[in-house]
Amino acid sequence: MTTFIILWKLAPSAIFFAIGAYCLLLALRPSFREKNWRYGRFQGWGLNPLNSWLTQLGFSKFRMPFDEGNFDERSMVFLYYTFAALFLSVGISGLILTIYRIMS
């Protein structure tokens, strides 16, 4: 196998690992956080983007947000820990599985 093929197979798991590491750093280090890092908006479940062709043609209305504003700092840190655990577990298990398959 060439180096390019090995890196191509490892790339998806490495991306998950990188996202998980970034979320962990956001939760642990306040200096990594942006200005409005606690701001969030919940528009309900389902897909209805603003630039949807159904919305632009007038067949459906754009849904206004149910909840919008700054969330509690503790809950946002917990959310980042949860995302970090999820993405790191998927990334590490994918890296291990891919390396195991390459070596055997």
pLDDT in tens, 57-73: 766 656 555 556 777 88
Token code pair at residue 101: 């398959």
C-alpha angle 29/33/36, rounded to 5°?
150
SS3 68: strand
Please provide the average confidence, as pLDDT, over all residues in the chain: 81
pLDDT at 51: 59
Which DSSP string do the residues of 31-44 spell out, in sequence order? GG--TTTTEEEE--
Higher pLDDT, residue 19 or 47: 19
